[in-house]
Amino acid sequence: MSDNVDKTKMYVDQEQSKAYADNRPRYTDEMFQAIVDYCKETNPNLNLAVDVGCGPGMSTLGFAKYFKKVIGVDVSETQVACAPKDVPNCEFKVGYSDKLPFIKSGTVDLFCSGESFNLMPQKETFAEADRVLKPGGTIAIFGYDVPSSDTPAVQDVIQKYGLKIFPFYPKETAQLLDRFRGLKMPYTDATRNDDIKISMKYTVKEYIGFMKSTWALRAYSEAHPDEDFLADLSKELTEAMEKAGSGLDYTLTWNLFLLMAHKPKN
């Protein structure tokens, strides 16, 4: 894995952010509901949620039906540009997870980070979360590691191509792949849930879009300018699906992880 990747510059390409918005997995209602239920254990109010490292908003939007207002914050302008603009109680801002001057102290009911906490300055982000959270508020860290396919021939191909680009991920990805097992949450009233899954149908085109959304593919392609990684993947995936007789799409499953903690009431 790569040392010294500037994690604030991993998403600076409009095409990559568009691929992210269109092809990354969608968090399930079950996950949003589990977080909301946990929030309510210590705080009945669902006024304000803040989602740092929000990307194009797939981690943010699910909270809009529960909270009066949701603010998504991301350091990448291209990611924020791909977030929806038509959800009245959702606002998206370009900014850093550990510097939220536009949020008053003690006003936030939920502070969360989806598929992004490994990329952030963690001590400083926890400190900023503590500043903005109300007593009894919740901090939630969630995400997913690598997907798997229920079609063995497809699984072989996605594993083969996933391993090719793996060394190009920043070293901080290891924490995500370990599902943050070693992360000490900032409050003692903490829990984790590894039981929720996302299952989605993918066509070859959509999976190519998923790969285009990754930082590692961009870094790999720069290091291998003469190789057409996506054309090769597309060909092998199509052949594997034909051989398996799996039709035009296949199912990918991601296992979610969800770490949550309540800020003490006093």
Ligand X SMILES: C[S@@+](CC[C@H](N)C(=O)[O-])C[C@H]1O[C@@H](n2cnc3c(N)ncnc32)[C@H](O)[C@@H]1O
Q: List interacting residues with ligand X (CB under 6 A).
A: 7-8, 10-11, 24, 52-55, 58-59, 73-76, 79, 96-97, 114-116, 119-120
Phi, psi torsion values for 135, nearest 5 degrees: -55, 135
The least CB distance from residue 178 to ligand X, in Å, is: 16
**Cα-based angle 12, 162, 180 (whole degrees, multiple of 5):** 75
The least CB distance from residue 235 to ligand X, in Å, is: 27
DSSP β-ladder status, 250-262 and 108-114: unpaired
The least CB distance from residue 96 to ligand X, in Å, is: 4
The least CB distance from residue 54 to ligand X, in Å, is: 5
Nearer residue to ligand X within complex by CB, 10 or 258 = 10
Nearer residue to ligand X within complex by CB, 55 or 136 = 55
* Sign of the CA dihedral running 177, 183, 185, 189: positive
Nearer residue to ligand X within complex by CB, 250 or 254 = 254
Report d(CA 203, CA 249) in Å as an integer: 4
Nearer residue to ligand X within complex by CB, 74 or 109 = 74
Nearer residue to ligand X within complex by CB, 24 or 218 = 24
The least CB distance from residue 173 to ligand X, in Å, is: 10
The least CB distance from residue 195 to ligand X, in Å, is: 18
Report the run of H or E that residue 243 belongs to, with start and end. helix 229-244
Report d(CA 72, CA 51) in Å as an integer: 5
Own/partner pairs, 226-232, CB within 8 angstroms, 24+ separation: 229/161, 229/164, 229/165, 232/161
Nearer residue to ligand X within complex by CB, 153 or 259 = 259
In the chain the beta strands, taken as DSSP E runs, fall at 48-52, 69-74, 90-94, 108-114, 133-144, 148-149, 190-193, 197-202, 250-262
